[in-house]
């Protein structure tokens, strides 16, 4: 999960992506593929970290000429897979998914739908606080960017008003 968090952090820092990272491991806990969100970079709404990593894992197994046994793979992902990704993971038949924080709007592993049930095990809350913190920092940055100069303007206005109220403004 540490690696998944690093990938999420890099994605937001370098590409301004929504900070989600993930790593697939085999049953020896060896990494098979890893990825972060690429929706902005690819300008494609389906390039979630999980789907990018699935592509990577398939390429890896094709290059080795060995089909991948998904039933022996587990996924570590910083946020609960969305409905689209949880459905893909169910169809592949992965063994287990560890995730950090819940995805209250689109979660497919318990929050909105429970697509994992009968398909793969989940363990939630792994390094949850760090995953939440990445989202918080991302959305704080996005909000301040969206508000732009108006937000600063408001602050200056408030400061001037406060200064006037305290009588400081009268001296200038
Ligand atoms: Zn997804």
Predicted confidence at residue 168, as pLDDT, reads 34
What are the backbone angles phi and psi of residue 98, rounded to the nearest 5°?
A: -100, 130
Cα distances (Å, whole numbers) of residue 13 to 1, 86, 137: 18, 26, 11
pLDDT range class, residue 134, cuts 50, 70, 90: very high
CA of 48 to the centre of ligand 1 (A): 5
**pTM, rounded to two decimals:** 0.82
When the pLDDT of each residue in the chain is averaged and rounded to a whole number, the result is: 86
CA of 144 to the centre of ligand 1 (A): 26
Among 17-26, 152-161, 162-171, the range scoring the smallest mean pLDDT is: 162-171
- Pairing between β-strand 21-25 and β-strand 74-79 as defined by DSSP bridges: antiparallel
Q: CA 80 to CA 37: how far, in whole Å?
A: 13
Structure-block tokens of residue 9: 């952090």
pLDDT digits (tens, 9 = 90+) for 3-58: 999 999 888 888 888 999 999 999 999 999 999 999 988 888 999 999 999 999 99
Residues whose beta carbons lie less than 5 angstroms from ion ligand 1: 48, 82, 85
CA of 83 to the centre of ligand 1 (A): 7
Task: Read off the DSSP letter of residue 58.
Answer: H
Averaged pLDDT, 95-123: 97
Q: Tell me: pLDDT of 147 over 70.
A: no
CA of 158 to the centre of ligand 1 (A): 41
CA of 30 to the centre of ligand 1 (A): 23
Predicted confidence at residue 13, as pLDDT, reads 85
- Which strands form 121-124's sheet, in the order they lie side by side? 31-36, 21-25, 74-79, 96-101, 121-124
Averaged pLDDT, 145-169: 43
Crossing angle for the helix pair 49-64 and 2-15, nearest 10 degrees?
110
The structural domains of the chain, ordered by start, are 1-140 (3.40.140.10)
With beta carbons less than 8 A apart as the criterion, state whether 34 and 73 touch. Answer: no
pLDDT digits (tens, 9 = 90+) for 56-89: 999 989 998 989 999 999 999 999 999 999 999 9
The residues that are catalytic are 50
**DSSP string for residues in 84-137:** HHHHHHHHHT-SEEEEEE--TTTBTBTTS-BTTTTT-EEEE-TTHHHHHHHHHH
CA of 138 to the centre of ligand 1 (A): 17
Averaged pLDDT, 89-113: 97
pLDDT range class, residue 148, cuts 50, 70, 90: low
With beta carbons less than 8 A apart as the criterion, state whether 25 and 76 touch. Answer: yes
């Amino acid at each position: 999960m540490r690696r998944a968090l690093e990938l999420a952090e890099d994605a937001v820092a370098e590409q301004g992506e929504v900070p989600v990272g993930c790593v697939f491991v085999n049953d020896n806990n060896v990494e098979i593929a890893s990825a972060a969100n690429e929706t902005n970079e690819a300008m494609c709404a389906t390039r979630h970290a999980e789907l990018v990593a699935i592509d990577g894992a398939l390429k890896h197994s094709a290059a080795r000429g060995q089909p991948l046994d998904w039933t022996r793979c587990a996924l570590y992902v910083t946020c609960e897979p969305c409905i689209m990704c949880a459905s893909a993971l169910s169809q592949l038949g992965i063994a287990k998914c560890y995730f950090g924080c819940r995805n209250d709007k689109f979660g497919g592993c318990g929050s909105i739908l429970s697509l994992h049930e009968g398909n793969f095990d989940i363990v939630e809350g792994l390094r949850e606080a760090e995953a939440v913190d990445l989202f918080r920092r991302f959305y704080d940055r996005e909000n301040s960017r969206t508000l732009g100069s108006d937000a600063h303007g408001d602050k200056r206005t408030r400061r001037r008003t406060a200064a006037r109220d305290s009588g400081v403004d009268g001296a200038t």
